[in-house]
Amino acid sequence: MLIALKLLGSIALLMYGMKVMSEALQKMAGPQLRHLLGAMTTNRFTGVATGALVTVAVQSSAATTVMTVSFVNAALLTLSQAISIIMGANIGTTLSAWIMSAGFSFDVTNLVWPVFLVAIVLIQMGKHRYVGDFLFGISFLLFALGMLRATGMEMDLAHNTSVVGFFDSFDSGNYLTILLFLLVGTILTFIAQSSAAIMAITMVLCSTGVIDIYQGIALVMGENIGTTLTANIAAMSANTQARRAAAAHLLFNVFGVFWVLCCFYPFVRLVCSIVGMDPGAESQAPAHLTFALATFHTAFNVTNTLILIWFIPQIEKLVCRIIKPKQGEEEEEFRLKYIKGGLMKTPEISVLQAQKEIAVFGERMMKMSEMVRDLYRTTDESEFKRIFERIQKYEQISDNMENEIGKYLGQVGDAHLSDDTKEKIRAMLRQIGELESIGDAGYNMARVIRRKYEAKIDFNEQQEAGIKAMFALAQQAGERMLEMLNGRREDFDFQPSEEIEAQINDCRDRLKEQNMRDIDDHVYGYDSGSIYMDLVNEAEKAGDYIINVVEARLGASHRTTEQTANA
């Protein structure tokens, strides 16, 4: 029982050490790593290299994969970019196996104590705390490996006749045995959600002579499938593209296991020859066994990547066929329609693409405004919750679109441009900023409506009429804005939009005065009047942002002093 507890405790310490080390590295270089993921994926090869480098840096393929899935969910990465990064992450994670293999080959516990000392000093000093956390994680990792090695020797399973007899009953020359161990490895990794922990157990079993190299490698193949669970769990609540990225991770590893099974015994013999061991020998050196497992893990992922890197478009099409979008979900995914990554050869065409994307941005914001009106009208609790969540999602979409279009325009602006094109870019940057503000105003209105709903406040007929008038004017202004964003600016005049804005301001002022009189006359309470005016003011702000988009689009600069001050 004591030995079993030592084994379980060592594995728990190993998982904790890797977690601390990974989190410390992510804190030290998190923003740079996230930037790296987005910037170094111009083609499939740089994507693989990026995934491998990031995973080596953070020592966690799960962290890289989950980060990648979250980026796909936010549309900061395309599905094909994500697939290449995930392939690289599978290569990067093999370093963990080599670290463990080294830990099982010689006693590393003597290295632990000075590292612990340095880590504690750095943590207490505070200035280099993350470095201290990283060293602390390494210390736990090395200590756990030393404990696992010592516990494995203490267990002396190679001389336990019942254990040896049980595993000897499985014929490693039989494919059914290989499939069984593969399934066991998958299930154990699925439960533990840590391929590193199961890899450590596999190395203990192999180095102590309980299982042979064929059974150990079958467990490692199962671990490669089981480790995909983390990303798939992370993607369950994400959008369709993120779920597809996680599914691509699973398909990648399943395909690798399939082709290795087709040439299992020759491939294992080839891997063993690399480390200078004979898989059929009666006795094996523990160091050879652990190095053989690490070598197989690396060979499996590298070879699999070399095969599948040429078929990323086909993998993308396959996962798109397997995972269909939920009803109504596809339209609510943030995905740029006209900007596909990389600049057009002609800056003028790039500017045209950006303007088309801005028109799509405007359409999404007007759709969000329509949702706000639907939210105001609904009385059903579940429907209210559903619409509010959609509005929240659209507010995030507005932030993402502003960021991505802005970055694209920044890249265009770095080229040699005419003065007229530079002026267009400045105008477009203002447009996307104001469109994002429309999204903020819409979300603020939704929050006010939620306050009204939760407080169970009902407006009287006069208040309802006022809200209806403000919504109608804002909608009218928004429709004209969309016409201008989709058309040629030379075909439009600023005056009609200016007149609508003046009507919005007049309506706001009239409703404000009436609201103060009604509260004074006790027509309704202060809480009702407060929510009423918050809603009116947010609608008026949305109108201001809309007129600002129109002004930026048309290049109008003849607004009156009073209108500019009101805006």
The per-residue pLDDT for range 207-266, each reduced to its tens digit, is 777 778 888 888 888 888 887 776 677 566 556 777 787 888 888 888 988 988 888 888
Q: What is the pLDDT of residues 127-173, one digit of tens each?
A: 777 778 777 777 777 777 667 666 666 665 555 566 566 666 677 77
d(CA 308, CA 114): 44
Helix, strand, or coil (residue 451)? helix
75-95 mean pLDDT: 78
Least confidently predicted of 179-188, 327-336, 478-487: 327-336
Fold of the 347-566 domain: Methane Monooxygenase Hydroxylase; Chain G, domain 1 (1.20.58)
Provide the terminal-to-terminal Cα distance of the chain, rounded to the nearest Å: 75
Which two structure tokens, joined as six digits, stand for 227? 């480790």
* Residue listed under structure tokens 């303007």: 355
Per-residue pLDDT at 188: 79
Least confidently predicted of 153-157, 196-200, 339-343, 374-378: 339-343
Question: What residues contact residue 523 under an 8 Å CB cut-off, 6+ apart?
Answer: 460, 462
- Rounded to the nearest 5 degrees, what angle is found at the Cα of 108, between the Cα atoms of 104 and 111? 165
Burial class (CB in 10 A: 0-12, 13-18, 19+), 127: exposed
Higher pLDDT, 313 or 200: 313
**Helix ranges restricted to H, 40-160:** 44-58, 61-73, 79-92, 94-105, 109-125, 129-155
d(CA 86, CA 143): 30
167-183 mean pLDDT: 79
Q: How many residues does the chain have?
A: 567
**Cα torsion angle, 437, 441, 444, 450, sign:** negative
Which two structure tokens, joined as six digits, stand for 25? 């590295």
326-343 mean pLDDT: 55
- Rounded to the nearest 5 degrees, what angle is found at the Cα of 389, between the Cα atoms of 385 and 394? 150
Coarse DSSP helix, strand, coil percentages of the chain, rounded to the nearest 5 percent: 80, 0, 20
516-523 mean pLDDT: 91
d(CA 227, CA 253): 9
Query: Where are the domains positioned within the chain?
Result: 2-322, 347-566
Per-residue pLDDT at 327: 54
Please give the radius of gyration of the chain, using alpha carbons only, rounded to the nearest integer: 31
